[in-house]
Structure 1
Amino acid sequence: MGTDGTESVITVMVVDDHPLWRDGVARDLTARGFEVVATADGESAAARRAAVTSPDVVLMDMNLAEGDGASATAAVLAASPRSRVLVLSASGERDDVLAAVKGGATGYLVKSASAEELEAAVRTTANGDAVFTPGLAGLVLGEYRRVAAGPETPPPEHSLSARETEVLRMVSKGLTAKQIGERLHVSHRTVENHVQSTLRKLHLANRVELTRWAVERGLD
């Protein structure tokens, strides 16, 4: 919002090594009410122009004429800390997505996105919110959870035996100890022992938490 109460125009820099694509995106954004303050085809040019123009949003490709999207993102943010980077790339590969986020990108959109999706993503990014092509957000969140657990800490499910994991899957489907016992040809007491052992290993309190834990990890 501007000082006079009117909504301020969002400024954008487009960084891409393909001139036709770069210019086309710039034209589309201008037509949709954004102000394209600069374009660049590589890391050095992007950093220099970001330092001068301080754009609200930088649309960043992963493949550049010089450098790559991840290193260029870090360079741009070092030159213009107030800017936010939204990657717009043909690649939706895991390594590219994670590299971009680790470089400081706020979001990641694949180039198959529509003009309307791109417009919405730029506005969302300018507001400081993360935006990802569907499916990529979960990938990033999963990686952050893995890193937060620490390299020395294996995922807790790795401590479960094959039978405990089998019982856990059935518990998450809502089966009772008796029903699970009938399927596995063991007594319901044996099933309960497996459940209690699993609860202890995962540091959970009851079946409800156990079911939620399994569903969140796709074990249901």
Structure 2
Amino acid sequence: LEAVKSGATGYLLKSASTDELIDAVRRTAAGDPVFTPGLAGLVLGEYRRLASEPAQAAGSGEPGAPQLTDRETEVLRLVAKGLSYKQIAERLVISHRTVQNHVQNTLGKLQLHNRVELVRYAIERGLDDE
């Protein structure tokens, strides 16, 4: 599943026969996806499961957006308002390091690289006004 999430359009097990391998190479060369029946069922089942889950991110209301915890959303709002980590820590009565951890977790979930991108993300979604 991780290979598919990373962009693989097919996957063949080591136990595949020579004929299966040759067929897979030909199909891949033609641009067709290649999965063994068992693996195809596993992949389809996983996508079915993901499609049936509610995909609302805390604070964003966007379908398919990453799930942020309430605390991560709260920290994100304060970052967007321009507060320093120290000010956020004091306001939420948590440590400066905990604020940094929340910011790093949020950056990872949103696939952003720095605080500037994080602030832009929050402002675009109106989180600095709440």
Structure with the larger strand share: 1
Q: What is the TM-score with the length of structure 1 in the denominator? A: 0.30
Structure with the larger helix share: 2
Q: What is the TM-score with the length of structure 2 in the denominator? A: 0.50
Greater relative CO (CA pairs within 8 A, separation 6+): 2
Find the structure with the greater CA-based Rg: 1
